[in-house]
Structure 1
């Protein structure tokens, strides 16, 4: 009633009636749904993963009191929270249970306190992709300071948006950033400061990194090429099924 009073059209469904993620996919398509709200992190939330529709979670109680003790359910719920745009807890104790299980509250408070004490640094929460890309385009550079990466989407997005990249010299980053060619790699804070100052003082270096980074990402990470590759792979699977 609250949501419909605000002008939204709502479809209410029992998770047990949908049975599987495919049932949710059919519902999303049939009703042309634009967003979803799930009650219970495991029973409802797990059905919403991977559909491309933004969703939020309301903790039900048994998800935090019972399902959290089941190893497989705990893993699934953690993945759901990573994809959810927000989570609602009815009590502080429920919130603390969730934070203990999936966020690190002590470390979070330390980071927030450090940011508040540091001049010129702001902590920005999650934002829609379009807004994020608009913000990146207005940045002088994108910094990836991760200590572990597989393949950094942030680096590839920055290159595609023609923004210079400074990244920590770890295997995942070094696989997509060639030092002084497509970006700059640093190993410690002192080297980062040195390279950042160099980049701000050398417009020619900035132009070269942007040009070569853009060329690299469009040649080696083209979505058109990936589409063709995956279509070919799927055809291979289809051939195996027919055989």
Structure 2
């Protein structure tokens, strides 16, 4: 098939990584694939360049930008897609506008998050207006599908679920060797227990609650360090939070990294403190590394982390509960190890890229039931 993916950009993030992996797999399967970015190409575009997969940028400006719409239409006209696969709301209604009258056989949108924290406004109004030209809307978890239908954003008949998947072959289990390497890199004392998280430093991930929880953990276990991988607009705010909590010396901000898989292998425990989440790629990667997990019970997290089986679930924005769960796994190392093993087994069965690509392939031919 000729497939066009339409995104805002390919900067580093969970959505963007999922798109890159899916596009790469579709290319491997012999489909003719291109990616159109509404704004800039983004830092990950080079990975597709290396495979010969076209990545185009429309360089959209603020407000209604007819030139950007024209560029997008030109890229689609040249590619003659049978399938238009858009990602999230803004990219979707812009792509639907740009492709009007082109006769594309199947138009699919994936909503990568929950969206429940955002007030319904112009963005969702425009998204709903684009539903007439949309064949299917994919939620990445059942919780997100129910929410989108309940709020009247997506008609139930057009809503389905395709969970995200990852390339499992690229992940090695956490090991003492990698732990020691990370300990040396951060100049930590031998034997330090490393609590890690991966994600953009923004309101949705709520790393402030994690830092406040870590203060309680560190008071009980001074042999601990907190590692935050990722960057974002709250970097300085979170640094100030660590200082205010008195743990700045034990909280390490590693920024945007291209060696996340290796860093994960050095963690003792993975924590996700989000207040809203779709189907977290970071959690899938933690499972693939065999890490015990503490996560907030929001969005699709409970569809990945099974409480008391592969990790612990706690309420969002509850630092004491987060601290208690972390300390519980630090004190019970055998239990934590069993959670990690179970997490790896679960992701092998349910979280692979191949399983995700197969479901999308069925959806591209209009098979809603098989896709879900």
SS state of the match for residue 341, structure 2?
Answer: helix
In structure 2, what is the equivalent of residue 169 of structure 1?
297
Q: Which has the higher contact order (CA 8 A, sep 6+)?
A: 2
Contact 1:177 1:184 in 2 (8 A): yes
The 5 A counterparts of 1:77-156 are 107-117=234-244, 118-128=248-258, 131-156=259-284
Please list the CA deviations of residues 54-102 of structure 1 after superposition, one character each: whole Å capped at 9, or x if unmatched: 69xxxx9xx8xxx3354897x67xxxxxxxxxxxxxxxxxxxxxxxxxx
Sort the Cα spacing of 1:119 and 1:45 in 2 relative to 1 into closer, same or farther, 3 A: same
Q: SS at the partner of 1:46?
A: coil
The runs of 5 or more residues in structure 2 that have no matched partner are 1-5, 7-36, 50-58, 69-89, 92-201, 204-231, 368-372
Aligned length: 157
CA distance in 2, matches of 1:219, 1:114: 39
1:68 aligned residue (62, 71, 76): 62
Hey, what's the Cα distance between the residues in 2 that align with 1:109 and 1:70?
33
SS in 2 for 1:170: coil
Q: 1:171 to 1:230 in 2, by over 3 A?
A: closer
In the TM superposition, residue 220 of structure 1 has moved relative to its aligned partner by 1.2
Question: Given that residues 287 and 340 in structure 2 are in contact (C-alpha distance below 8 angstroms), is that contact kept between their aligned partners in structure 1?
Answer: yes
Q: 1:116 to 1:122 in 2, by over 3 A?
A: farther
In structure 2, which of residues 324, 327, 332 is the aligned counterpart of residue 202 of structure 1? 332
Q: Distance in 2 between matches of 1:151 and 1:157?
A: 12
| Structure 2 length-normalised TM | 0.37
C-alpha spacing 1:69/1:47, structure 2 compared with 1 (3 Å): closer
Secondary structure at the aligned position of 1:143 is classed as strand
Matched, 1:53 2:42: no
Report the secondary structure of 2:330's partner residue: helix
1:139 deviation in Å?
0.3
TM-score by length of 1: 0.54
1:155 is displaced (CA, Å) by 0.5
Residue matched to 1:183: 311
Equivalent residue number for residue 227 of structure 1: 357
1:115 touches 1:122 (CA, 8 Å); kept in 2? no
Q: Deviations over 1:146-169 (max 9, x none)?
A: 100000110110001111111012
The question of whether the paired residues in 2 share the 8 Å contact of 1:148 and 1:172 is answered with no
* Offset, 1:48: 2.8
The 5 Å alignment of 1:24-63 reads: 46=39, 48=41, 52-53=45-46
Mapped to 1, the partners of 2:283 and 2:332 lie a distance apart of 21
Q: Is the 8 A contact 2:291 2:337 kept in 1?
A: no
Partner Cα distance (1:171, 1:189) in 2:
19
Instruction: Using the TM superposition, give the Cα deviation of residue 145 of structure 1 relative to its aligned residue in structure 2, in angstroms.
Output: 0.4
